[in-house]
Each structure stands twice: as C-alpha cells, then as structure tokens.
Amino acid sequence: MARLPTLAVLGATGAVGTVMCELLTGRRNVWGEIRLLASERSVGRKVRCRGEELTVQALTEDALDGVDVAMFDVPDEVARHWAPIAVRRGAIVVDNSAAFRMDRDVPLVVPEINPEQVANRPRGIVASANCTTLTMIIAVAPLHDEYGLRELVLASYQAVSGAGQAGADTLHDQLAKVAGDRMLGARTGDVRQAVGDDLGPFPAPLALNVVPWAGSLTDGGWSSEEMKLRDESRKILGMPDLKISATCVRVPVLTGHSVAAHAVFATEIDVEGAREVLRNAPGVIVVDDPAAGEFPMPIDAVGTDPSWVGRIRRTLDDPRALDFFVTGDNLRKGAALNIVQVAELLAEDLTRP
Amino acid sequence: MARLPTLAVLGATGAVGTVMCELLTGRRNVWGEIRLLASERSVGRKVRCRGEELTVQALTEDALDGVDVAMFDVPDEVARHWAPIAVRRGAIVVDNSAAFRMDRDVPLVVPEINPEQVANRPRGIVASANCTTLTMIIAVAPLHDEYGLRELVLASYQAVSGAGQAGADTLHDQLAKVAGDRMLGARTGDVRQAVGDDLGPFPAPLALNVVPWAGSLTDGGWSSEEMKLRDESRKILGMPDLKISATCVRVPVLTGHSVAAHAVFATEIDVEGAREVLRNAPGVIVVDDPAAGEFPMPIDAVGTDPSWVGRIRRTLDDPRALDFFVTGDNLRKGAALNIVQVAELLAEDLTRP
C-alpha cells in the first residue's frame, strides 16, 4: 500500500467515540484520511480530530468504500449488521461491541498481551474486550506469565460512563438533586424519593448508592457483565478452563473502573517479585504506597492510558495467592485506547513493505 | 435484682450513639434509668431517648456508680481507659471499639450467632465487632452452619459514616462542591482540585471516587480494617484458622456498608438450599430478584435492622462455592443495634429471678 491507510470511526460522537478522536489527535499519526460515520442523528456534526475539523457523515454502504480499517463503537445489533458490510467493502473491522467477541473466528486482542492474534482474522473482524475485563487483564496477564494463573475472584467498582454518555448525564442529574440536602442517605428510600423516576440506563439510583448489577440476566443469576469478565478473560489468556468468579457493581464515579482482585497462582508468590513484574508490564503503572496515601483511584486514573495497580499484597492464608486493586479509564484502555491500538497494529500490517 | 437495670450510654451524641438512643426508643423497654455520658464538649446537650428528654452528663468515675450495663461508643484509647473503671464501679461494659475485641478474656458477641458467649466475660467486658464484619458475618454464619465454611474472599463497599459524623459531613461538603459541574470527573485530578484540601477523615476525596483504603497500615500492606474483618470473623465463628482475604474500599455512600463475598464450603452447594438457609436466618432478609431490579443496596438497607442479602449464585467453576452480595446499615446492625442487642442479653441475665 503506497498511501497511508484510510480509517473510519463508527460512533464518533458517543462517549467512547469522542475519546477515540482525542486519542487520534494525540498519538503518532499512521492514518491517511479519517472518516467519521454515525447514525442520522449525528450527521453534520463537526468533530475536531488530529487537528482537522471533520464533519460526521451518514453511515451508508457507499460511505465505507475505500476504508481500510473501521473502528466500531456502536450497539451490538448495529455491529452485527454493519461489520460484515464493512468487511465486504474492503475494510478490516475493529469492533468494541459484544457481538463478535466470543466468535471462534474473531480474535479478541489486547495489544500488550496477544498482539499476534490480529493476524488471525478469518472474518475480517478483530474484537476489543469489555471495559472491566481490559482494565484488569492488563495487570493479570503479566502475573500469569510469571506465576501461572489458577483462579481469579473479582469484585468491580464500575463508573457510570461505562453505560455511555447517558450514564454520565444520569449521575450528574442525580447528584444535583441530592447535593445540599444533608439529611439524605440516612433513611430507607429517601434517596430514591429525591432522585425520582429518572434512573437513566440503570436499574436504581447511583447517587449515594452502589448497585450490584450491570448488564442483563443470564443463567444461575449471573449478570451478562460478570459472564463477559469470565469468558473474555479466558479467551484473551488462552485458558478456556480458568476458574473465574466476578461480582460486578456500579458505583457513583464518572469515569474509571476499578477491580479488587484475588488471584491464585500455581507457584508461591514473592510479593516484591510480583511488584517488579507489574512495574515492568506494558500498560501498567504501580501506585502502591498506602502510608503516603498512594493507591489506584478513579479520580487519578481518569484521562490516563495505563491501568493503575496498587494494594499489592500476598494473601495471608495462601502463599500462592495475591490480592491487589486496579483502576483504569474505562473510556481509554477500557475501550477507545485498546481499539485505537489494535487499529494501529493493523495499519502497521497494511503498510509493511 | 428487684429493679430494672440502669443503662449508661458513652458517646451518646456521636453518629452511632444517636442511633443507640433511637433504638432504645423503638425497642421493647428493659431498662430502668438511662444515663447519657460524654466528653466535656457534649455535656448539657439534650437528647430524646425512650420518650424522655435526657441531659448529657460528664463522664466521671462517680457518674458510673450504680450503672449495671454501660454501652461504649468511644475511640479505642478512651475505651481502654474507661472500660476497666466502669467495671470496677460495678458495670458490665459492652464496647464498640477495637480495644478489647481480640482479648482472649473478652467475648466478641453477635447475638444471632454466639449469644451464649455473653456469659463468658472474665474482665466484665463484652466486645461488639467492626461494622463491616457484622454486616457480612450475619449472612456467612448460617451458611457455615449448613455447609462448613472453608474460605472467604471479600471486597467491601463502605459508607462514609463508618468514619463517624465527620465522614458524613465530609461527603456532603464535597458533593456540594462537585455537583453542578458536568465537566468534572473526566480529567485526571480535576475532582481533587474541585474538592480542595479538606479531606476530612479520609486519605483522598470520596466524591466521584472510590478509595481502596480504610484504617491504618499493618504488616504486608494490609489495612487495619482488612485485618479486623479477618481476625474478628475468625473469633466470632470460632475458627482460628479460617482462610480470609479482604479488600476494604470506601465509596461515596452516606450509610450502608456492602460486601461482595465469595465463600468456599466443605460440601457442594445447592443454591436453592442456600437461599432457604438465608431466608430462615435471624437478622437476614433475602432480596434477590435481579430481573425485577431487586438486589441489596445501601439506599434501601439504610435505616433498617437486617443484613440484606442478594445476588446469591453458585460459583460456576466450583460447586462448593457461593457468591453473594450483602448490605447492612453500618450504624445499626454494624454498630448501635448489635451493642443494644448485647446489652439486652445482659439485662435479661441480670433480671433473671
């Protein structure tokens, strides 16, 4: 390919799409034309990307012609419809929906962990993982390489922007309703009453609350979000039988997913060794000095690329287990950044002489 | 004892003490005189308790004379000083601090679990457990009785009022500062800047954040709060070698501690059986219908007595393990209610003919 590849962004005006455009502006440029495509609602909007002011165009079959790589951040059913069309028109699709993640013929790629898998794409589609999975797996994978992972027990603290711009708007609206009333939060149901019926994309109020639910109901009472953590982690690590148990909980944080992880390994853990493994791991920064008030937190990790890992400690009652806490920006490494990184791997592949 | 026993409340004007007085008003009355004692700062304040308006008196040695049962909600060092004095003056002390919980000669009593232990008090002191431990252990103990507990992995979602009234005030102040600015929470450090330097009793801002730290630093990077969960659970269950690993996290909730629990048992779990065990357990209510939006949450559990248990599911990769989520009012069962219940057991004992 003599020219730089053409990139399309589907869903460019959403919470993740906005960050994709920001990232394209800040990173080393590997792209020729960048084309922003969206549903009718957003057509005509101007978005600044890579120093240019781009106009959002309607997503049509013809609009995909000449696209080399298409980054999708759209609902599952939109991805299911449009990804094969984009592939037929000649694009490689990097998809952030759950539509293809568990497809045997679609690799699930985290460039820090399994970059070689981008080449293995019989359907012309590469999937990007769920935001909570990505935040956590970046820290777990290098530990697995060193110690041999046997089991994961996870509890999440997920930000509202994981449910898109509507999630962020909902929390802002609810905070405006509860802030200032110092009596709220002390009587059963009083926050519900103050917040009213507008719950946005959530099953319950988020202001002054935590909601132990994300996604839809699957067998045995597990949420779809919890199943994604299990299934996607297994696929990324290439460990189809890995024992994983997760509880996914939404918290009143704007952006930044956190996970409390208990990881059991095949061999005994030396905690200084584990800390060193994490310090050297791509995409990870270690923030672990509780005496100095340093631990991973959403208000610090938001707007940054890496997964922040801290509270690293060997399990007291099991020398083969490690407990730690990890926080990452769910819109960046948890979504936009991973997609952009995968797209860049593909661009490299396409422009290789 | 011909008369009804005299009760003293130490720390009656604090976050927990206020709830103690509320509970004494609402519950079956087993007390004669009720005497409210506090530090100089609170002396003279009027507090409504059991329909009477009581005046807070100064805590002096003489003020303890004639007291049969003294409920303490005061800092560790105050308890350490005053509990032996109260005992010498003839009182039995029910203490909510951490000063005596791990003392071999002080029972750690949860009336739903080990009520018989109140009789075993060589020092004249009975301890009440940490708020997070209490919330969780109420659900774990009946499952242990049925299935034989082998291991617990816990992650907490702890409310700010666990750090007393100062904690609640801090969150209210911070919410007032961040509510209304819809741009906040999207850039690293912007919430820190908006909140400013007043962090109250916490090491970092709580508004729009989660803080993976509670208490002080102990060996191996564990927080004192995490160690309490381990040590106190072992003592209450009478299992000194139980494997427990906990990560304690503070969240922007006023009142209501939650715990995501992964419990491994000796025998295979039948999830309907486990649900039935919990339905019949004292102090527990089961709220577990995700399809109907029913799961345990702080905004519902606050102001109520029981631990709310839901998200009950058998671990997919381990038939002997159960995952569930539990929420309870940290000021009620997590503190004031447990203390009042223990005091009532003692009153019963004292007035038995």
The pLDDT of residue A31: 96
Question: In this structure, what DSSP letter does residue B269 have?
Answer: P
Q: What is the dihedral of CA A147, A152, A158, A162, to 10 degrees?
A: 80
B172 is catalytic: no
- Out of A151, A253, A290, name the one closest to residue B208 (CB): A253
**Which of the residues B19, B153, B190, B227 would you substitute to probe the A interface, choosing the one with the greatest number of A C-beta atoms within 10 Å?**
B153
| pLDDT (tens digit per residue) in B277-331 | 999 999 999 999 999 999 999 999 999 999 999 999 999 999 999 999 999 999 9
Q: What is the CA radius of gyration of chain B?
A: 21
Token pair, residue B311, equals 């998200």
| pLDDT (tens digit per residue) in B252-266 | 999 999 999 999 999
Q: Who contacts B60 (Cβ-Cβ below 8 Å, separation ≥6)?
A: none
SS3 of residue B333 by DSSP? helix
Question: In this structure, what DSSP letter does residue A64 have?
Answer: G
Contact between chains at A297 and B212 (C-beta distance less than 8 A): yes
Token pair, residue B202, equals 């916490």
Contact between chains at B299 and A192 (C-beta distance less than 8 A): yes
Degrees, nearest 5: CA angle B93-B95-B101: 115
Q: What is the mean pLDDT of residues B162-184?
A: 93
| pLDDT (tens digit per residue) in B3-54 | 899 999 999 988 899 999 999 999 999 999 999 999 889 999 999 999 899 9
ipTM field: 0.96
Pick the residue from chain B with its C-alpha nearest to A247: B260
The H or E element containing residue B350 is helix B337-351
Give A-chain residues touching B182 at CB under 8 angstroms: 169, 172
Pick the residue from chain A with its C-alpha nearest to B330: A186
**Which of the residues A177, A209, A217, A269 would you substitute to probe the B interface, choosing the one with the greatest number of B C-beta atoms within 10 Å?**
A209
C-alpha A237/C-alpha A114 separation (Å) is 8
- Digit-by-digit pLDDT tens for chain A (353 residues) are 678 999 999 999 888 999 999 999 999 999 999 999 998 899 999 999 998 999 999 999 999 999 999 999 999 999 999 999 999 999 999 999 999 999 999 999 999 999 999 999 999 999 999 999 999 999 999 999 999 999 999 999 999 999 989 999 999 999 999 998 888 888 999 999 999 998 999 999 999 999 999 999 999 999 999 999 999 999 999 999 999 999 999 999 999 999 999 999 999 999 999 999 999 999 999 999 999 999 999 999 999 999 999 999 999 999 999 999 999 999 999 999 999 999 999 999 898 87
Token pair, residue B26, equals 């609402």
The H or E element containing residue B194 is helix B190-195
The pLDDT of residue A186: 86
HEC string for A195-226: HCCCCCCCCCCCCCCCECCCCCECHHHCEHHH
Half-sphere exposure of A260 (CA within 13 A, CB side): 26
| pLDDT (tens digit per residue) in B105-128 | 999 999 999 999 999 999 999 999
Residue B67, amino acid: V
Q: How far is B194 from chain A (nearest CA, A)?
A: 11
Partnered with residue A245 across adjacent β-strands are A153
C-alpha B91/C-alpha A146 separation (Å) is 58
B81 is catalytic: no
Contact between chains at A223 and B188 (C-beta distance less than 8 A): no
Q: Who contacts A311 (Cβ-Cβ below 8 Å, separation ≥6)?
A: A288, A290, A295, A296, A323, A324, A325, B212, B213, B221, B247
SS3 of residue B232 by DSSP? helix
DSSP result, B121-178: -TTSEEE---HHHHHHHHHHHHHHHHH-EEEEEEEEEB-GGGGHHHHHHHHHHHHHHH
Pick the residue from chain A with its C-alpha nearest to B296: A212
Q: Give me the helices (H) in B15-160, please.
A: 15-26, 76-88, 131-147
Domains in chain A: ranges and CATH: 7-129+335-351 (3.40.50.720), 132-166+195-330 (3.30.360.10)
How would you class B297 by CB atoms within 10 Å of its CB: exposed for 0-12, middle for 13-18, buried for 19 or more? buried
With contact defined as beta carbons under 8 Å apart, do B275 and B251 qualify?
Answer: no
With contact defined as beta carbons under 8 Å apart, do A243 and B317 qualify?
Answer: yes
Strands A307-314 and A46-49: unpaired
With contact defined as beta carbons under 8 Å apart, do A247 and B323 qualify?
Answer: yes
Contact between chains at A254 and B185 (C-beta distance less than 8 A): yes
C-alpha A91/C-alpha A83 separation (Å) is 9
Q: Give me the helices (H) in chain A, please.
A: 15-26, 76-88, 131-147, 164-178, 190-195, 224-237, 271-279, 298-301, 337-351
DSSP result, B283-325: TEEE--BGGGTB---HHHHTT-SSEEEEEEEE-TT-TTEEEEE
Residue B157, amino acid: Y
For helices A131-147 and A224-237, the axis angle rounded to 10 degrees is 40
Measured distance between the N- and C-terminal CA atoms of chain B, rounded to whole angstroms: 8
With contact defined as beta carbons under 8 Å apart, do A135 and A280 qualify?
Answer: no
